[in-house]
Amino acid sequence: MKKPFLAAAFLLVLPAVAEAQNAAPAFRGQFYVLGGLGTGFGTYQHPLTEQFAFGGEGFIYKGLGVGAEAAYTHFNLNFGSGQSSWTGSVDFSYHFRRHAPKGGFDPFILGGASILGPTHAEGGTGQVGGNLGGGANWWFSKNAALRMEIRDQVGGDFYIPGRGVFANLSFRVGLTFR
């Protein structure tokens, strides 16, 4: 009598146990492409800058991630002239809702070190700098999101008198894929 009763109880409990398991995949990283507008201030003051970037992040513990990004910034309204800069960054980030479902928001903050390419028309050398920002991913599907962020990239020739520092504060919009 005990065996049929235990078998029936097991069969009744099994679907509930299977349903309780977490079916969400453990995404270990994501990559993104962005475009944005901003303003340059400091040594290189420009009323409008355009920026295009791509990068990726790998998660190392819960919402903590480490990533890299490459960006191209143009410091003039006319792409045929003006100043431009390539930027390479290594960042740490924290995603507050890393496993946000479809329709959910994943706010994040980030910051790190940057190397900025030539920043003036005379063909200058690279500069060491940093970046700091934050934003959110809106996951409109399981694996794709609208990414919106604000980022300030700072650099400068601290060791050359008269050159000073500059910053580029930009609002960027793009897509994130996981």
Reduced to 3 states (helix: H, G, I; strand: E, B; else coil), residue 17 is helix
Task: Write down the pLDDT at residue 163.
Answer: 57
**93 part of a folded domain:** yes
In the structure, what pLDDT confidence band is assigned to residue 153 with cuts at 50, 70 and 90? confident
**62 part of a folded domain:** yes
The CATH number assigned to the domain holding 99 equals: 2.40.160.20
Q: Whole-model pTM? A: 0.76
Number of domains in the chain: 1
User: For tokens 């009744």, what's the residue?
Assistant: 12
Q: What is the DSSP letter of 18?
A: H
**Which residues constitute the domain of residue 50?**
30-177
**56 part of a folded domain:** yes
Report the DSSP pairing between strands 127-139 and 144-157: antiparallel
pLDDT in tens, 1-57: 567 666 665 656 666 555 555 555 567 899 999 999 998 776 656 678 888 999 999
pLDDT in tens, 87-97: 899 999 999 99
**113 part of a folded domain:** yes
| Residue 51 to residue 128: CA distance in whole angstroms | 19
Task: Write down the pLDDT at residue 91.
Answer: 96
**12 part of a folded domain:** no
Strand ranges (E), 18-163: 29-42, 46-61, 64-74, 84-95, 105-116, 127-139, 144-157
